[in-house]
Amino acid sequence: MDLLTALCGICLGSNDKRQDQQQQQQQLPLQPLSNSQPNNNNNNSYSQAASGGGGAGVYAAPPPGPPQNQNQYHQQQPSSYSQAVSHDAPGKYHHQQQPPHSYSQAVGGQQGGASTGVISQQPQFLPSDNIPASVQKPVPAPTQKELQDLSAAAQRLWDLDNNRLNPGKDFQLNLQRKTFVSNQDDMSGDKLFKSVNNDMLRKYPTYSKFLDLLPNFTSREGVAETVTDARLRDEKQFIDLVYQTSPIQYLHKYLIAKKLAPSDPTQFKTMLNKTWFELYKRRVRNDTSAFEHTFAGEVRDDTREVMGFHNWLTFYVEEKAGRADYRGFILPKTRGGRGANPTGNEHVLSFQLSWNGDVKPVSTILIGVSPEYELALYTMVFLAGKDDVNVPIIVDDVQCEVVVHRFTNNTGPKIGSAYVSIVK
């Protein structure tokens, strides 16, 4: 059973969160993902923002041939998003010893367990890896203005997001009451998402493959990731799919013109994969990645702080399963907590949330945008932007900034966190 099928199978019932949770406990919907040790396969993982040194610099194309550094991993078949642990109380999880089974059947149809062997963290992208194109129309080359003004280039990406969902049509929000970063009370009794057209999520391959990635991570900061052959295939297929979309095609042209990426598509896809999925150390070796923090999220053990969690699809499926809780919207600091409230027809929202009982005081999330748009936006700012310089963009009529925190380790610059913030 894939995640979209599981989502459709969850009882819609009342929109009251507390009543939904009671119904879900009776009907046994999606089970919480492990917040402790990694499941034998796929877990929901979640990383932290990092700040610090160095820009990305000019890209050097990787040498041909197999990756030089190969690490040994125990290969195991991914389990269902809805499987793996039982939920006793917030923050308390136990493994269920259940046979793993296929998560999405999107990794070549393999149903049984995999063998143990050596897997490279950087999969090989071959010219023959053809994925049906989803570029709706020819992608323009960047203009001279866009090459000189990163904000203009970032704005062009917004115009190229052909697969974006529309508020009021493809999804409906229930914003309810305003809250503040320091407020410890839940100001909203109902869910944020009144409805989402799951047929739209099925329509675009990048959406469904993005959802396939989420169970691959473990949420505890400081726990090394378990990398399986299925996980590597998911990551590779996701990069193959997003490369066929307009935002990533434009990103590639832009970075070539800026001499920040190789022109060869195979090498560029390898570069994207490394940027987002290469593991690095946050607290222990190989416990996080740029994708993990930005799009999935993580929980810090000592403070029980939710970090990252900047993606609307992640919040939607976690809220649907009763693990994430919307606690009210937050106005930007420039309004002093006052001013016009959001209408629910915007593609961006700042709000307070909790996840498995742990609170994130504020998270700003682009809602309804495609996975390829966010990947292109944050990659562009990471590679072409400057340290500690946010990039202005307009989301609908909302003035925002793109924020990318960078740091550098012994393998080069890394994305510690990436998100948008609402200016006014």
> Which carries the bigger pLDDT value, residue 221 or residue 173?
173
Angle, helices 229-243 vs 205-213, to 10°: value is 150
**For 99, what's the count of Cα atoms within 13 Å in the CB-facing half-sphere?**
6
Tens of pLDDT along 161-196?
Answer: 999 999 999 999 999 999 999 998 999 999 999 999
pLDDT beyond 80 at 114: no
CA distance 285 to 143: 42
What sign results for the dihedral spanned by CA atoms 260, 265, 270, 272?
positive
- Of 394, 421, 217, 381, give the one whose Cα is nearest residue 299: 217
pLDDT beyond 70 at 404: yes
CA distance 276 to 19: 38
Angle, helices 371-384 vs 229-243, to 10°: value is 90
Residue 292 pLDDT grade (very low, low, confident, very high; cuts 50, 70, 90) = confident
Residue 6 pLDDT grade (very low, low, confident, very high; cuts 50, 70, 90) = low
pLDDT beyond 80 at 419: yes
Tens of pLDDT along 314-366?
Answer: 999 999 999 999 999 999 876 444 567 899 999 999 999 999 999 999 999 99
Mind telling me the catalytic residues? 293, 310, 360
pLDDT beyond 50 at 90: no
Tell me the β-bridge partners of 402.
Answer: 391, 420
In this structure, of 62-71, 231-240, 319-328, the range with the lowest mean pLDDT score is 62-71
Angle, helices 265-277 vs 371-384, to 10°: value is 90
- Of 270, 290, 274, give the one whose Cα is nearest residue 282: 290
Q: pLDDT > 90: what percent of the chain?
A: 50
pLDDT beyond 50 at 52: no
CA distance 46 to 49: 10
Contact in structure between 329 and 178 (CB atoms under 8 Å): yes
Residue 29 pLDDT grade (very low, low, confident, very high; cuts 50, 70, 90) = very low
pLDDT value of residue 391: 97
- For the chain, the average pLDDT equals 75
